[in-house]
Amino acid sequence: MKKVRGHFSENSEYYRKFRPSCTGRLYSEILQFVKTEDSCRDFGTGNGQVAVEFDMYFTSVFATGISQGQLNSPEKRKKIVYKKERAGQTGF
C-alpha cells in the first residue's frame, strides 16, 4: 500500500484533540436503520471516534483506515478490530 502523507497522519493526537465530535443524536439517527447488532464496519476510521461509539451497540466493530499514524492512536477495546486497509479492498 502506498504510504499516506497528510497533516494528521503524523500528528494523530492533534487530530483527536481538534476534530469535532458527533452528537449522540447522530448515532441514534443512524442506528434506527440497523436491523442487526452483530457487527458493523467503520471505513475511514481515522482515530476511531466512531468505532468507539459503535462499540456500545454492536457485538463487534471492524474499523479500517489508510493512515498508520491514525490507526496507532485509537482507544483499544476488545470488540474493535483496527486494520490498515482501503475501504474498497478490505479483508473482512
Query: Per-residue confidence at 74, pLDDT binned at 50, 70, 90?
Result: confident
Q: Residue 71, exposed/middle/buried by CB under 10 A (0-12, 13-18, 19+)?
A: buried
- In this predicted structure, the answer to whether residue 69 has a pLDDT above a threshold of 60 is yes
The tens digit of pLDDT for each residue in 2-37 reads 555 555 556 666 666 666 667 678 888 989 999 888
Of residues 10 and 92, the one with the higher pLDDT is: 92
pLDDT (mean) for 45-73: 90
Q: Percent of the chain having pLDDT more than 90? A: 37
